[in-house]
Amino acid sequence: MSKSNWDYSIFWKETLNHLRSELSEQEFVMWFNNIDYAGSTEKKIILSVPSSFYRDQVKERYLTGIEKILHNLSGSNIEIDFSIKKINTTPVSSNPKQKKTQSAAKKKPSLPVTNRSYPNLSQDYSFDNFVVGDNNSFAANACIAIAKNPGKTYNPCLIYGGVGLGKTHLIQSIGKYVYSNFEDSRIVYVTAEQFTNEFIQSIKENKQHQFKNKYRKVDILLIDDIHFLQGKDATQEELFHTFNALYDSNKQMVFTCDRPVSELKNLTDRLKSRFERGLNVDLIPPSFETRIAILKKKVEEKNVLIPDDVIEIICQNVTTHVRDLEAALTKLIAYADLLNKEITVDIAKHQLKDMFSNPKLNNITIDVIQRTVADYFNLTPNDLRGKKRTKAIAFPRQVAMYITRELTEYSTTEVGLEFGGRDHTTVMHACQRVDSKMKADPSIEPYIRNLIQKAKESGTKS
Ligand code: ADP
Ligand code: MG
């Protein structure tokens, strides 16, 4: 049966009219201006949507209502099916429909849309393929809220956390979402390093004006890895002014950093206070369950067959970054591909033995570190977690905090909590103290290295 025999476009148009009268203009524009009628079959209308995130949201919010309206209009049960539009990297102004949206939405006055090119974003990152788990749900939800309402909800927003935990994935997902859903918005995504290099280049070439123009006239500025700005005074100064210009005109800014802003060194206080404005959210290493969910998603994306027990053994052993989980998977897939073998638990154990035996990637816990350090100083772990601040306990406690920061991905806030609910500044101070003691007294470093080694060994055994 050819598609044209089932043209339900008129029903869809009428459904839109109903929805328009029921929803606020903002809500209607947000969810329905980007949906196109893509065809029908006997019992279905196919709608094309910008992303699967969008599809899921529309399904959850409106599907029942839409199907009811369609039923009333047609007298039969017409279902809705969604297809995902390909990301459009060509200028959107060529699409008359989208031009109309721009005026209907009355969103942001901006440059002519023909000037809008696809921002420097990787195709790999979107909300669709980001697994939300206990370690990242606050950050992920904040990013989704920002993407839906840029400049209005949480501005600025800073996402911080250790390496490989999804900062770049999230910040880029915001860019991608906004690009697909707000067609007149200008989005700039850069790493702090690129920002710095461009700034330096603009000075060399006497093009500061262009530089300022580029960064101060965006709707969304996304800067990844701002820890790179430490010690770069002139770039900090420039970013400070960029920040103020954008902030004053309610333009959205999102930054990522590998630690809380308070722990950054050589960053001016005024810039720090800007980053700390708005919302700061952290990412911590994923729990076992979330690791399983992430790995399963990656397996699905790569369209390979990996038995559940193999996934489990990887997740039991690779406990820090998502990036390491991916690396483990990539290695196994390459092995299986090259040797044309099925992946089994034994193969996984053998192929990944280096990753599995590296204690940094293993189940080294704060508990193990506290026990190791306490043993060495003839104390108990409770002494390290307790309130006493006598010299005999204070220094070992600082050493244990230092080693925890060395060997794990816990933030200073989390370490503080594990050491009797102490403040993160106490942990920072402890690490600095141990560091300077090691530098001042050469006899200290070897025993701390030795303790680190012991903690690693206990971590591997437990
Ligand atoms: P960061 O910028 O924090 O160092 P990335 O965003 O580069 O980390 O993440 C590292 C890798 O892990 C990327 O390939 C990313 O897609 C993946 N990743 C991280 N967190 C998740 C998650 N929750 N769901 C799916 N993939 C994730
Ligand atoms: Mg990153």
Q: How distant, in Å, are the alpha carbons of 225, 275, 429 from that of 272?
A: 14, 5, 19
| pLDDT for the residue numbered 225 | 96
Residues in the chain: 462
- Pick the residue whose CA is nearest to atom 19 on ligand 1: 166
CA distance 32 to 66: 12
Q: Ligand 1, from 321, 323, 325, 411: best to mutate by most atoms within 8 Å of Cβ?
A: 323
pLDDT for res 127: 96
Fold (CATH) for 6-84:
GMP Synthetase; Chain A, domain 3 (3.30.300)
| Higher per-residue confidence, 362 vs 190 | 190
Residue showing tokens 């004006």: 209
**23 Cβ neighbours under 8 A, 6+ residues apart:** 31
301 CA to centre of ligand 1 in angstroms? 14
Decide: 143 in ligand 1 pocket, CB within 6 A: no
Ligand 1 atom nearest the C-alpha of 132 is 23
Give the ligand at the shortest distance from the Cα of 290: 1
Mean pLDDT (the chain, rounded): 85
Point out the least confidently predicted range of 59-68, 202-211, 448-457: 448-457
Confidence of residue 303 (pLDDT cuts 50, 70, 90): confident
Residue 162 or residue 111, greater confidence: 162
Mean pLDDT to the nearest integer, 191-213: 96
What confidence score (pLDDT) does residue 60 get? Answer: 85
For ligand 1, pick from 123, 125, 169, 320 the residue to mutate: most ligand atoms within 8 Å of CB.
169
pLDDT digits (tens, 9 = 90+) for 245-269: 999 999 999 999 988 898 888 899 9
What pLDDT sits at residue 451? 87
Atom of ligand 1 nearest to the CA of 125: 16
Q: Which of 203, 246, 248, 258 is nearest to 222 (CA)?
A: 246
Higher pLDDT, 160 or 33: 160
Mutational test site, ligand 1, from 132, 144, 165, 295, max ligand atoms within 8 Å of CB:
165
Instruction: State the DSSP code for 132.
Output: P
Q: Does residue 41 have a pLDDT over 50?
A: yes
Burial class (CB in 10 A: 0-12, 13-18, 19+), 297: middle
pLDDT at 119: 87
Distance in Å, CA 164 to ligand 2 centroid? 7
Q: How far is residue 41's CA from residue 58's CA, in Å, rounded to a whole number?
A: 20
Ligand positioned closest to the Cα atom of 122: 1
Query: How much is the pLDDT for 116?
Result: 61
pLDDT band at residue 52 using 50, 70 and 90 as cut-offs: confident
Ligand 1 within 6 A of CB of 294? yes
Written as one letter, the residue type at 216 is: R
pLDDT at 141 over 60: yes
Rg (CA), the chain: 27
Residues 358-409: pLDDT tens digits? 544 456 789 899 999 998 888 999 999 999 889 889 999 999 999 999 888 8
Inform me whether the pLDDT recorded for 79 exceeds 60.
Answer: yes
pTM above 0.85, yes or no: no
Give the pLDDT band (50/70/90) at residue 309: very high
How many A from CA of 140 to the centre of ligand 1? Answer: 12
Residue 415, pLDDT above cutoff 60: yes
> Is the Cβ atom of 160 under 6 angstroms away from ligand 1?
no
Ligand 2 centre from 62 Cα, in Å? 35
Q: How far is CA 420 from CA 284, 367, 417, 427, in A?
A: 20, 12, 6, 11
Dist. CA 184–CA 218, nearest whole Å: 11
CA atoms within 13 A on the CB side of 355: 24
Distance 326 CA to ligand 1 centre (A): 9
pLDDT score recorded for residue 308: 94
**Domain spanning 127-283: CATH 3.40.50.300:** yes
Would you say the CB of residue 165 lies under 6 angstroms from ligand 1? Answer: yes
Ligand 1 atom closest to Cα of 322?
12
Percent of the chain with pLDDT over 70: 90
Q: Is 323 in the pocket of ligand 1 (CB under 6 A)?
A: yes
- Ligand 1 centre and the CA of 325: distance in Å? 10
Amino acid at 113: V
Residue 97's pLDDT band (cuts 50, 70, 90) = very low
For the domain made up of 288-357, give the CATH fold.
Helicase, Ruva Protein; domain 3 (1.10.8)
With beta carbons less than 8 A apart as the criterion, state whether 188 and 119 touch.
Answer: yes
Does ligand 1 come within 6 angstroms of the Cβ of 164?
yes
Mean pLDDT value of segment 50-59: 78
> For the residues 418-436, what does the mean pLDDT come to?
93
Q: Tokens for 313, please give them.
A: 């053994």
| Residue 322 in contact with ligand 1 by CB distance below 6 A | yes
pLDDT of residue 365: 85
Q: What token pair was written down for 387?
A: 């309130």
Interacting residues of 445 by C-beta distance below 8 A, sequence separation 6+: 438
Which atom from ligand 1 is nearest to the alpha carbon of 171? 6
Give residue 195 CA to ligand 1 midpoint distance, Å: 22
Whether the pLDDT of residue 145 is over 90: the answer is: yes
Top-level class of domain 366-461: mainly alpha
- The Cα 363–Cα 315 span in angstroms is 11
Q: Is 135 in the pocket of ligand 1 (CB under 6 A)?
A: no
Taking the C-alpha atoms of residue 36 and residue 92, their distance in angstroms, rounded to an integer, is 15
Q: Residues near 117 by Cβ (< 8 Å), separated by ≥ 6?
A: 89, 91
Does residue 163's CB lie within 6 angstroms of at least one atom of ligand 1?
yes
- What residue segments make up the domains of the chain, in order of their start? 6-84, 127-283, 288-357, 366-461
Residue 126: which H helix or E strand, with range? none
In this predicted structure, the answer to whether residue 190 has a pLDDT above a threshold of 90 is yes
Residues 6 or more apart whose CB falls under 8 angstroms from that of 144 comprise 53, 127, 177
Residue 18: which residues within 8 A CB-CB, separation 6 or more? 69
